[in-house]
Amino acid sequence: MADSSTSKSRPTRRDAEEVRVPSRESWDPTAGDAAPGTTSSGSSSSSGGASSSGRSFADKVRSALRDAGRNLDDARTAPAGGAAPSKATTNKRPTRRARLRLTRLDPWSVAKTAFLLSIALGVMTVVAVALVWGVLDAAGVWDSINAMVYQVIGSESSTDFDVENYLGTSRIVGFTLIVAGINVVLLTAIATLAAFLYNLGAALLGGIEVTLAEDAR
């Protein structure tokens, strides 16, 4: 009888196989499974209670991690209330500078630019002279000059003298047009020659050094 009682109290090999060994895998708190080391019993009531408690605990852990992540994002994006601004926000970005050399001028582009500028200068000169002579004529300057010449000479031949025959508006404007045309030719030629001379000097000396800076605004 003693042998039979001891044989019944000892666990059989089949009973040992039914016991589940806890898994060694890492436990994820966000997953819905139970924590490692827990064993499932054969009864349906105990398994249902363990799964429900595991799910509620996992939901709490998920919500806590979600809230912590949101708080961390808010702390990174917005500074704390009343905190002083950092040096990165207060200090301005340093102005970038670049040192370049003007090594060559295109003679053709210089000639075109000089031609257009000389034409503009000639037009402005003609218009300015015409306006000045018109103002002098309206102010009666020419009549005053004719009267003064008549008083100085005091002869009958002075009555035929008229200053407008020599310094009239039409004569002066025509002379100004001729001078403006000559200036157009001369300025264009001089600018083109200066471009060639600059290219020769830049080939020997390296050209003009220019420092360019970025706008700080």
Residues in the chain: 217
Q: Averaged over 90-98, what is the pLDDT?
A: 74
How large is the C-alpha radius of gyration of the chain?
Answer: 52
Average pLDDT, the chain: 73
User: Does position 176 have pLDDT exceeding 60, yes or no?
Assistant: yes
Which of the residue ranges 39-48, 56-65, 75-84 has the most confident prediction, judged by mean pLDDT?
56-65
Per-residue pLDDT at 134: 87
3-state secondary structure 150-173: HHHHCCHHHHHCCCHHHHCHHHHH
Cα 109–193–189 angle (5° rounding)?
80
CB atoms within 10 A of CB 162: 14
Q: Whole-prediction pTM value?
A: 0.50
Q: pLDDT tens, 113-148?
A: 999 999 999 999 999 999 998 898 888 888 788 788
Q: Averaged over 28-32, what is the pLDDT?
A: 49
CB atoms within 10 A of CB 21: 6
Could you write out the DSSP letters of every residue in 68-119?
Answer: HHHHHHHHHHSPPTTPPPPHHHHSPPPPPEEEEEE----HHHHHHHHHHHHH
Instruction: Give residue limits of the domains in the chain.
Output: 2-80, 97-213
Per-residue pLDDT at 167: 80
